Amino acid sequence: MNPLEELSTRIEQHLGSTVIGLRELIRAVVIAVVARGHVLVEGPPGLGKTLLGKSLAGGLAGRFNRIQGTADLMPADITGVHVFDAESRKFTLHPGPIFTEVLLIDEINRAGPKTQSALLQAMEERQVSIDRQTYRLPPEFMVIATQNPHEFEGTFPLPESQLDRFMMRIDVTYPQLADEGLVLERYGNVAALTTSPTAEPDTRISAELLAAARACADGVHVSNQLRDYILAVAQASREHAQITLGLSTRGALALLRAARVAAGLRGAEFVVPDDVKLVAPWVIAHRLALAPEALLEDRDGRELVRALLERVPVPR
């Protein structure tokens, strides 16, 4: 078992101790963590999005902070603020919750556009500018955000620049009947309302294992033909009649990195087109801006991703 496979097993064990079901999301979570990408968890309310994000954040090495998205949340509530110290007669920084390894933002679309913009620099450069000074964030800085796409009252849709900084969007759907029955059995008593489910300490992922998994992913070979295939998919998204905003260069890089990790998870030494097809719905769908005619036909990003993959020839 290579480090990538071991990491996948550990994350599955960790999430399995608190989250029931959502098995198909485990691989997407592992890929995002190894590729140092930010994750957007999206789905209807009450399906465990916050619990999934909190469990994942709690299982990774390093500090963990949580922010609840609200309409009155200000940028300084995230980044921090300079406060005058009477003794030293200097302004000192009181750092906000963004200075952490793992940042969970619950209901990110409830925060206003100005507050959302405070995350753009941090997610791209892993640093923040406060009062004309720039401060570095931890190298392992990662954002895990949740949102409910079906709730519009009091929400602010994420702009394209914000969505493009999320490496993956993971959709949480209704659980299977057997899994939902286990949820009722485990959390159906009154005591469960006053206690927060936590994972076992021995399931936490160490920094050493994470570094080894990333080194393993970097060792997976990517051929020139595979790079050309990814570029062709990106170009096809920009030329599609029902897409007004296609895959960006940042998105193409994310697709390549995610496919490389996916290949390593199955123990392969090189990336094949099937690896790209596996991760494409998670990486591409939320980055596409659909034309009005696509919306009238009730098409979504995932459906258009499948159409793009069918249109682009697969290299031999």
Closest CA to 273 of 314, 221, 305, 218: 314
CA separation (Å) from 186 to 49, 189, 201, 309? 17, 8, 20, 41
SS (H, E, C) 118-149: CCHHHHHHCEEEECCEEEECCCCCEEEEEECC
Whether the predicted pLDDT of 202 surpasses 60: no
User: What architecture is the 3-213 domain classified under in CATH?
Assistant: 3-Layer(aba) Sandwich (3.40)
Residues 6+ apart with CB under 8 A from 21: 48, 175, 176, 179, 180, 182, 183
Domain boundaries, the chain: 3-213, 219-311
Residues 303-314 have a mean pLDDT of 93
Q: How many CB atoms lie within 10 A of CB 100?
A: 20
Whether the predicted pLDDT of 313 surpasses 80: yes
Residues 285-302 have a mean pLDDT of 88
| pLDDT bracket for residue 203 (50, 70, 90) | low
Whether the predicted pLDDT of 198 surpasses 70: no
| pLDDT bracket for residue 199 (50, 70, 90) | very low
CA separation (Å) from 206 to 7, 59, 103? 9, 9, 17
Closest CA to 294 of 283, 281, 308: 308
Confirm whether 3-213 and 219-311 share one CATH topology.
Answer: no
pLDDT, tens digit, 9 for 90 and up, residues 133-178: 899 998 889 898 988 876 667 788 888 999 999 999 988 888 888 8
Tokens 């500090």 correspond to what residue? 63
Domain 219-311 in CATH 1.10.510.10? The answer is no
pLDDT, tens digit, 9 for 90 and up, residues 55-78: 777 777 677 888 999 989 999 999
Q: What percent of the chain has pLDDT over 90?
A: 43
Tokens of 130: 């406060």
Report the predicted TM-score, pTM, of the whole model to 2 decimal places: 0.88
Are 162 and 275 spatial neighbours (Cβ–Cβ below 8 Å)? no
Tokens of 57: 């954040």
